[in-house]
A and B are shown apart, each in its own frame.
Chain A
Amino acid sequence: MDEVILQHQLIANFRPRIIPDRCVHIKRTLLGQGTLNAVINEEVKPDSVIGHYASTGGFTAVNVAANLNVSPNEASTLLQVPIGKNIYSGELLARKKTLFGTKDLLSPTDGMLESFDKKTGILRLKFIAKAAPLLAGVYGIVDDVNKDKGEVLIRTLVTKVYGVIGSGKQRSGMLYFLDQNNQHLVQASQIKEEMKGHILVAGSLIYQDALKKAVGFGVAGVVSGGLNFATVQTMIGSIDKHKNMAADVGISVVLTEGFGALPIGEDILNSLKSRNGRFVFINGNIAELLLPSLDTDSILTVRKIALPKVNVPDVTPEVTLKQITLGSKARVIWPPFMGFVGEIIAIDETPTTLPSGIGTYLLTLEISKKKIKVPYTNIELI
């Protein structure tokens, strides 16, 4: 490097990652036909019921022909309940007479017999709508109730967590850690149907086929340290923020570190661990997670803050410049040690030539239980 950079002039990008105790509006929406019973100015808790709706879970298929070992055409004659009627879990669905008695097929679930395909022998069962409560999910105060849209606006205290990039609209759900190992790589086999509506914490990376499976099962969101660049491109097209229109492929995804297999940074990981099994919000298009306060006393703070009901679009906080100083917290943004978070304990006074041939000033970072040296350009202050 030609120019001499004095120690006190080293600067780095500062990216806000965790912003605690912010008062925000969150929206709770009926997921089907239903009614709201929340009232304006009502104080709510996470388990407060603010409405009810009919939950329609979709469809399931039962291969009657294969189960009874008959031809598809014959299977249609063995149904014990006519098409269009309801059936309940465990009830007799179809029966075949055998030499030794009968072979019975019982209904696997509550549903309505919607249709039967005589070519394949498959029966389509539509799940019966069930009444489900809409819970507040947060400690807060109801600021608005829109019965036409089925929406309740609640003022609440949250910790805002920001990743580096993401995709998908705002969704909510229970936070669920797929594995306690932060180095975890998520395969399709680990995605289960019962994860529907959850926000999964993946670990270092979730493979594209696992993501597709999660979409199919109705998983609300995924938080991962990394994702393959090619996978992200299929979701959002371009990572150029000026070209990137808000995208949604049926799931909200937030990457906390970058592309490839990268463990979630310890700063964000600790915030997420404290919310395991709790209700959270995810907005992939601005790479944001909202973690509602777990403190019952947070309502005291919420009472003192008024928020406009105007629809101000949410944005990711800007990345700014900041001087690098001893004691600053930093995150490594380039391999090796990408994603690691630590404290700057030393700043070199003379440049070092890296194996790449580039000369630069190195910082000493204390991470976990070890010290590493990284170029000052390869960190972000947090």
Chain B
Amino acid sequence: MPKLIGVFDTFKNLDQIPVSNISRWTKHKSNLEGISNFLGNRLLYPQTVSMNKLEIEIDLAILREAISNHPEVVYSSSSSKIIIPEKFLHLFPPPTSLMIILIQSLKLPKITSIFLNDLAGNTLEGSIYAPLKLPAQDTVDITINGQKSQLKLGTIAVFPILEHTLEVVIDDTEKVLLNGGKLGLAIDLRKKING
């Protein structure tokens, strides 16, 4: 018989995630019992929504661990695509937090496209750009459709741009065509561990 489910239903073995792994991403790290009970109730009642910022923080921490343990649920490395249910936007606001979770949980190549999936199919709604070679200086000049910004090395920047086609120029040297949308564009300037 059908019943309401939640976004975490697609991830297996969530109840096996050590609570300490979830709590390390939250402000109230010491409340392990509270976080443990939250996880249990989230699994028991997957259709429920978080009421306040504290609960959203725990939900995002669970999502982060879930994606880290099972990246294949949202990410296809062969096609460099992230496909997530449209419902993620609704249940894990704001979109910038969701983008950061995806970047921090997955090992991504230089360019990754992000699709939102709903009943109509998959729609391209964002992208992540992670340059492989980082410049020597502390900051990087980024121009997006003519708008210039300066970003610090070692950071992740998320631009909530709805336009689908974006011309991105990095340090006046590299030009690349990327996509915006409901999730926008994220630029990952963190140091890469493997080259």
Tell yes or no: B135 within 8 A of A by CB. no
Bound-state CA distance A334–B143 (Å) is: 45
CB contacts (< 8 Å) of B34 on chain A: these are: 260
A window 289-348: CB within 8 A of B: 318-321, 333-336, 338
Contact flag A356-B52 (CB < 8 Å), given A230-B36, A258-B41, A259-B40:
yes
A164 within 8 A of B: yes
| Cβ contact within 8 Å between B47 and A377 | yes
Among A1, A165, A318, A357, point to the contact of B94 (Cβ < 8 A). A357
Of the stretches A51-59, A97-105, A232-240, the one at the interface is A232-240
List the A side residues contacting B43 at CB < 8 Å.
239
Q: Is B15 interfacial (CB-CB < 8 Å)? A: yes
Tell me, in angstroms, the Cα distance from A338 to B33 when the chains sit together. 17
Q: Is B137 an interface residue (CB 8 A)?
A: no
Interface set, chain B 3-44, CB cutoff 8 A to A: 3-4, 13, 15-16, 19, 33-34, 36-37, 39-41, 43-44
B33 to chain A, nearest CB (A): 6
A258 to B39, CA, bound (A): 11
Report B76 CB to chain A, min CB distance, Å: 25
Report whether A334 and B51 are in contact in the complex, using a CB–CB cutoff of 8 Å: yes
- Among B16, B37, B55, the most chain A Cβ lie within 10 Å of the Cβ of B37
On chain B, the residues within 8 Å of A164 by CB distance are 44
Q: How many residues of A contact B (CB 8 A)?
A: 39
B residues near A354, Cβ cutoff 8 Å: 49-52
A321 and B40 form a contact (CB under 8 A): no
- Asked if A356 contacts B50 (CB within 8 A), the reply is yes
Cross-chain contact A355 with B52 (CB below 8 angstroms): yes
Are the CB atoms of B36 and A334 closer together than 8 Å? Answer: no
Interface pair A378/B4, CB less than 8 Å apart: no
For residue A375, CB closer than 8 A to chain B, the reply is yes
B84 at the interface (CB under 8 A from A): no
In angstroms, Cα B4 to Cα A11, docked, is 9
- State A12–B52 Cα separation when bound (angstroms): 21
B126 CB to nearest chain A CB (Å): 16
B1 within 8 A of A: yes
Q: Is the CB of B48 within 8 A of A378?
A: yes
Q: B37 near A260 (CB under 8 angstroms)?
A: yes
Q: Is A228 part of the binding interface, using a Cβ–Cβ cutoff of 8 Å?
A: yes
The 8 closest A-B pairs by CB, nearest first: A229-B40, A357-B93, A259-B40, A260-B37, A259-B37, A334-B48, A356-B50, A355-B52
18 additional contacts (CB under 8 A) given A228-B33, A358-B49: A11-B4, A229-B39, A239-B15, A239-B40, A239-B44, A240-B13, A259-B40, A259-B44, A321-B2, A321-B3, A334-B49, A338-B41, A358-B50, A358-B91, A359-B90, A377-B47, A378-B49, A378-B51
